[in-house]
Amino acid sequence: MPLHKKIISILKDILNVLKIEFQTMFRDRGVVIMFVLGPLAYPILYCSLYKNETLIDVPIAAVDCSRSPQSRELLRHIDATQNVAVISKYGTLAEAKEAYNEKKVHGVVYIPADFSKKLATGDQTSVSIYCDISSFMYYRIINQACSNSVLAMSNQIQVERLNANGITGESANVISNPIPYNGVILYNEGAGFASFLMPVILVIILFQTLFLGIGMIAGTSREENRFHVLVSSSVHRGGTVRVIIGKSICYFLMYAPWAFYALELIPRIFNLPHIGIPFDVMMLMIPFLLATIFFSMTVSVFIPNRETGIVIFMFMSLILVFLSGVSWPQSNINGFWRAFAWMYPSTCGVQAYMKINTLGADLHHISFEYISLWVQSLIYFATTCWAYHWQIKKTSKKQLKEDVVTIHI
Amino acid sequence: MSNDTFTAFKNTLYRELKRMVSRPIYFISTFVIMTFCYIFFLTFFNEGQPNKMPIGIVDLDNSSLSRQFTRNLEATQQVKVVMRLSSHKEAREEMQRGNIYAFVEIKRHFSNDAITNRRPTITFYVNDGYLIAGSLISKDITYMSAATSIGMQRKILRAKGLDENRIKGIIQPIALDTHLIGNPWANYGTYLLNVILPGMLQLMVLLMTAFPIGVEYKQRTSREWVENANHSMFAALTGKLLPYTVIYTVLGVIGNILLYKYMHYPLNSSIGWMFLATFLLVVSSQAVGVIFIGITPVLRDGVTFAGIFGTLGITFAGSTFPVEQMPTGTRIISDLFPIHHYFNIYVDQALNGVAIHYSLISYVIMLSFLILPFFVFDRLKNAAISQSYPTK
Q: How many CA atoms lie within 13 A of B321 on its CB side?
A: 27
The answer, yes or no, to whether residue B314 has pLDDT greater than 50, is yes
Residues 6+ apart with CB under 8 A from A79: A85, A86
- Average pLDDT of chain B is 89
CB pairs under 8 A between A and B: 331
Mean pLDDT of A51-77: 89
**pLDDT given at position A238:** 54
pLDDT digits (tens, 9 = 90+) for B163-181: 888 888 888 888 888 888 7
Task: Read off the pLDDT of each residue in B201-215 and give the average, rounded to a whole number.
Answer: 95
How far apart CA A63 and CA A90 sit, in angstroms, is: 5
Domain boundaries, chain B: 3-46+187-386, 53-171
B270 touches A: beta carbon within 8 Å:
no
- Residue closest to B40 by CA, chosen among B196, B150, B191: B196
Element (H, E) at B89: helix B88-96
- Measured in angstroms, the CA of A89 and the nearest CA of chain B are apart by 19
Nearest to B321 among A102, A137, A183 (CB): A137
Question: Average pLDDT, stretch B72-86?
Answer: 90
Q: Is B176 on the interface with A (CB under 8 A)?
A: yes
Looking at residue A106, the DSSP 8-state letter turns out to be S
Summary count for chain B: helices (H), strands (E): 17, 5
Name chain A contacts of B160, Cβ cutoff 8 Å.
165, 167
Asked if A312 lies within 8 A of B28 by C-beta distance, the reply is yes
> What was the pLDDT predicted at A409?
46
Q: What backbone torsions phi and psi does residue B328 show, to the nearest 5 degrees?
A: -55, 145
- Measure the CA–CA gap between B387 and B222, rounded to whole angstroms: 7
CB-based contact, B5 to chain A, within 8 Å: no
The answer to whether the Cβ–Cβ distance between A128 and B177 falls below 8 Å is yes
Work out the end-to-end distance of chain B between its first and last CA atoms, rounded to an integer number of angstroms. 36
Pairing of strands B122-127, B53-59: unpaired
pLDDT at A204 over 50: yes
CA distance A377 to chain B (A): 22
The rounded distance, in Å, linking the Cα atoms of B237 and B242 is 8
Reported ipTM: 0.90
For residue A7, CA distances in Å to A229, A252, B192 come to: 22, 22, 55
Interface of B with A in 64-93 (CB under 8 A): 93
What percentage of chain A carries pLDDT values higher than 70?
A: 93
Sign of the four-CA dihedral B285, B286, B288, B289: positive
Inform me whether the pLDDT recorded for A400 exceeds 70: no
Residues of A in contact with B55 (CB under 8 A): none
Could you say which of B153, B215, B326 has the minimum Cβ distance to residue A49? B326
Q: List, in order, residues 6 or more apart from B120 with CB less than 8 Å away.
A: A179, B107, B109, B110, B113, B114
In this model, does residue A235 exceed pLDDT 60? no
- pLDDT mean across residues, chain A: 86
Q: Identify the CA nearest to B315 among candidates B333, B291, B293.
A: B333
**Cβ proximity of A111 and A62 under 8 Å:** yes
User: CA B191 → CA A94, A198, A200, B49, B221, distances in Å?
Assistant: 26, 19, 19, 11, 44
For the domain B53-171, what is the CATH code? 3.40.1710.10
Question: What is d(CA A255, CA A345) in angstroms, rounded to the nearest whole number?
Answer: 15
pLDDT band per the 50, 70, 90 thresholds, residue A408: very low
Instruction: Please identify among residues 305-344 of chain B the ones whose CB lies closer than 8 Å to any CB of chain A.
Output: 307, 310-312, 314-315, 318-322, 325-327, 330, 343
Residues 6+ apart with CB under 8 A from A337: A323, B40, B43, B44
pLDDT at res. B185: 64
> Which of A30, A177, A273 shows the shortest C-beta gap to B149?
A177
Q: Which of A147, A161, A332 sits opposite B176 (nearest CB)?
A: A147
User: What does the alpha-carbon distance between residue A163 and residue A180 come to, in Å, rounded to a whole number?
Assistant: 20
Residue A50 distance to chain B (closest CA, Å): 7
Quote the CA–CA distance of A345 and A355 in Å, as a whole number.
16
Q: Kindly tell me if the per-residue pLDDT of A229 is higher than 70.
A: no
- Residues 6 or more apart from B252 whose CB is under 8 A from it? B198, B201, B278, B279, B281, B282
Give the Cα separation of A299 and A302 in Å (integer): 6
Nearest CB to A178; choose among B25, B134, B156: B156
> Cα torsion for B339, B341, B342, B344, to the nearest 10°?
130
Q: Kindly list the domain boundaries of chain A, sorted by start residue.
A: 3-51+192-397, 58-176
The CATH class of the A58-176 domain is alpha beta
pLDDT, tens digit, for every residue of B82-137?
999 999 999 999 999 999 999 999 989 988 888 888 888 889 999 999 988 898 89
